[in-house]
Amino acid sequence: MAPPMFALPNGYALQEYRIEAMIGAGGFGLTYLAHDGNLNTKVAIKEYLPADFALRSEDQTVQPKSSAAQPTFEWGLKRFLDESRTLASFRHPNIVRVMRFFQANQTAYMVMEFIAGKSLNDWVRAHGSLNEAGLVSIALPLLDGLDVIHKSGYLHRDIKPPNIFIRDDGAPVLIDFGSARMNLDPNKDLTSIVSPGFAPLEQYHANGKQGPWTDIYSFGGVLYWLVTGKKPVEAVGRIREDIQPSAVSLGDRKLYGVEFLGAIDWALKPNEQDRPQTVSAFRDALARGRGAPPMVTALSSMQEAAAVSMPVSVAFDKDWLKRVEQDVAGHLGPIASVMIRNAARKSATVVALLDTLAAELPEGIARTAFVRKFTGDQAPPLSMRLQPVSGTASQQPASEPMGATAMQRFGIDVLKQAETALAQHIGGIAKIVVRRAAQKARDERELYLLLGDEIADREERKAFVRKVLTPPARP
């Protein structure tokens, strides 16, 4: 991508960051790949530079194009900072993480994690079509993240294939919150943001009734594209007569069930009142076709630990589980039997079980081969009971063993230190919380951020994470 004339030059120093390249441009600003000199890592930095009413001066500062544009520029700058502050509070593995934000060059910057991976468009071109199990394994984690956004009072408003990334480890991530807006006031005008085919009708005019159903339409559009290979018909072309072929009529029945395809069509209803009104309702509809249970709001680590005595029981084929255990044991040794037992107890689907186990295997060929071996048409059927199994609670261990990958990533000293520090705020349950967080976190910084989310008091939480957010003093 050739950088526009108003982009910061490569090599430009922006506080502790060094600009390496421009990697994206939109109506509200530019996105750069940069190097963090303090953490010695790559980051993505979004700069507020609305092209319609601002420009860059020779000294690299950003200025309104005219005195008449000044109020609009300042209003947008304040909103950019407010949204950065809110997005920085999100903590979810399937939402791009905002690390910090600051003002410089008379504008503002948002620093985000740099995601090593491919956009969904490129990933699909490389991997080909996915069956229902594959799509569900991508969709459900993203919907979990979207639910967090909605419950914070925000809408994403630009969900489309380029704004979904698949990490190199296979995890999906929702990115690009440049169009995100508060949705606290249902009567509040929202600016018109449109990605044809993926934007519902209410986004075509400022007074459209936007809400969670707006993002659900866009999400359904992505799934429609994945299932049919065709972009949905633009919403304005469906007003008088809905000419869009249904996913049910186009989807390959060898790959997708009728209920799954029907859920996609439900999300794409032209009238917002006819769509799922919440993420949980849409998620239930998608998961139902695979025999998965109705999904509830995601629990925090502490709540999840407290709820361990009320498990959802899924009966997997014993012979199949034995084969999986033997394969995992070849990588991790005798601990495989314990891991299989715990994963099977918590997983509602074959895909969820395999995702849990694959996360503990070494990245690369071994992990890929494991997933391919045990997914697809050879996956066994399963039955499910949505009530506690008699005697299950007393048989479950008080805590789960630490996965090999998490232990190698942090070391016992780091985990013990985190456990001791967290216990001062939440007590003895800290041991379980640290073990669960260590399975998700990619580095010590993220570990402490996840743990900090369990501390109710805001000032105590800030003090807890300060050690990893504050750069070390220079000698």
- At what angle are helices 279-288 and 258-267 packed, to 10 degrees? 160
122 CB-near residues (< 8 Å, 6+ apart): none
Cβ–Cβ contacts within 10 Å for residue 235, how many? 22
Terminal Cα-to-Cα distance of the chain (whole angstroms): 40
Alpha helices by DSSP H, 333-457: 336-346, 350-358, 365-374, 392-395, 404-410, 412-426, 430-440, 444-452
Going by C-alpha positions, the residue among 450, 462, 419, 470 that lies closest to residue 97 is 450
Nearest to 172 by CA among 98, 96, 267: 96
Continuous segment of H or E residues that includes residue 23: strand 17-26
> Which residues does 469 contact at the CB level (< 8 Å), separation at least 6?
100, 445
Tokens of 1: 């991508």
Name the active-site residue from 144, 158, 215, 453: 158
Output b/e per residue, 70-105; b: 16+ Cβ within 10 A.
eeebeebbeebbebbebbbebebbbbbbbbebeeeb
DSSP secondary structure, 212-247, as one string: HHHHHHHHHHHHHHHHHSSPPPPGGGGSSS--PPPH
Question: Residues, the chain, total?
Answer: 475
SS3 of residue 411 by DSSP:
coil
Verify whether residue 377 is a known catalytic residue. no
Catalytic residues: 158
